[in-house]
Amino acid sequence: MTVVWINGAFSAGKTSAARELIDLIPNSTFYDPELTGGGLRYLLPQKKLAEVTDFQDLPIWRRLVVDTAAALLAEVGGVLVVPMTLLRQEYRDEIFGGLASRRIPVRHVLLSPEETILRQRIADRVEADEDPERSEQVRQWAYEHIGPYRSALDWITGDAHTIDNSALTPRETAVRIAEAVHSGAAPACGIVQTPDPTAETVAAGVLLFDEEGRVLLVDPTYKPGWEFPGGVVESGEAPAQAGIREVAEEIGIRLEQVPRLLVIDWEAPEPPGFGGLRLIFDGGLLPGRDAERLVLPGSELRGWRFVTEAEAATMLPPTRYERLRWALRAREKSAVFNLEAGVPVG
């Protein structure tokens, strides 16, 4: 099972090429995530819909895209052809990472016609013959997204196989895509993610500090928001050792001492997550010479930064930031805090 994801600007020819492609790749099925977005207009309260201008900004849409793709492949097998514009890297990472967690590789293809050709296609686009106003709204939407598309090209071209379809028909474009998939020119993306948990988990995070007292945060490819180095504790593994292992795996730094426990927190189950115990450890000082040796696995982390507490407030999701606040307080007082109870331990 695999997914061929066709990316590109609005009106780049993704859907037309995708419909041709299913005739060229045996046992392939067409799936348009825009249908999922349209369905949400009937499922979500208007108040919720009013919070966003694009259904891609709804977390439920991104989850449903992954779940629907996985369900379709479980039902029909083979190859799923998905024409969908993705201009935000974190959304690409979240969706592709979610598919990877289900052991579904994604082959990412970018259709990139010349801008003059793209603008002409937008001008010629008719969304509904009986509704000229609706067609004009769609054309305006497409024009407005040319700028964001250009801005996103740096990261899109980093892992997508690019096809200039300026002078190609949809059929010819599909032939190029099929050839790229068959030859391996469009390889599976390197984004990976561990399988989603099926029950409560124990996770260990490790705080590392520079000489200025700033804390190290990493930017995962497979979920939104920054995070501390760390991960899920494996069966039979001591949480502190899990923290040591995760730091070595994620950033290439081996801690010489067992980190000290700072915070114990219980994360309540909140679908689609199962929650569980969250432990935060003090990994101590990471001198500048060691930070220079820091190596990121590109498939899991795309960046790292030392930040102040104030900066962390703008980067971490609220729950993680709250754990950081309590961890810093515990570090100052040399105590261990139980967030669930709101009291020091021992």
The CA distance from 104 to 69, in Å, is: 9
The CA distance from 344 to 341, in Å, is: 9
How much is the pLDDT for 274? Answer: 79
How much is the pLDDT for 194? Answer: 56
Three-state helix/strand/coil letters over 207-243? EEECCCCCEEEEEECCCCCCECCEEECCCCCCHHHHH
Q: Tens place of pLDDT for every residue, the chain, 346 residues?
A: 899 999 999 999 999 999 999 999 999 999 999 999 999 999 999 999 999 989 999 989 999 999 999 999 999 999 999 999 999 988 888 899 888 878 899 999 999 999 999 999 898 887 766 777 877 888 888 898 899 999 999 989 988 999 999 999 999 999 999 999 999 999 988 765 555 666 788 999 999 999 999 999 998 876 667 899 998 998 889 999 999 999 998 888 889 899 999 999 998 887 767 789 999 999 999 887 777 778 776 567 778 999 999 999 999 988 899 999 999 999 988 766 666 555 565 5
341 phi/psi in degrees, rounded to 5:
-90, -20
- Which residues pair with residue 29 across a beta bridge? 80
Structure letter (DSSP) for residue 178: H
How much is the pLDDT for 336? Answer: 66
Residue type, position 103, single letter: R
Residue from 163, 175, 169 nearest 121 by CA: 169
pTM: 0.64
Q: Which residues contact 158 (CB under 8 A, 6 or more apart)?
A: none
DSSP letter string over 101-116?
A: HTT--EEEEEE---HH
The CA distance from 156 to 6, in Å, is: 11
Handedness of CA 269, 270, 272, 277 (dihedral sign): negative
Note the maximum CA span of the chain: 72
How much is the pLDDT for 200? Answer: 87
Residue 16 · residue 30 · CB < 8 Å: no
The CA distance from 125 to 252, in Å, is: 50
The CA distance from 73 to 79, in Å, is: 7
Residue 334 · residue 249 · CB < 8 Å: no
Burial of 193 (C-beta count, 10 Å sphere; 0-12/13-18/19+): buried
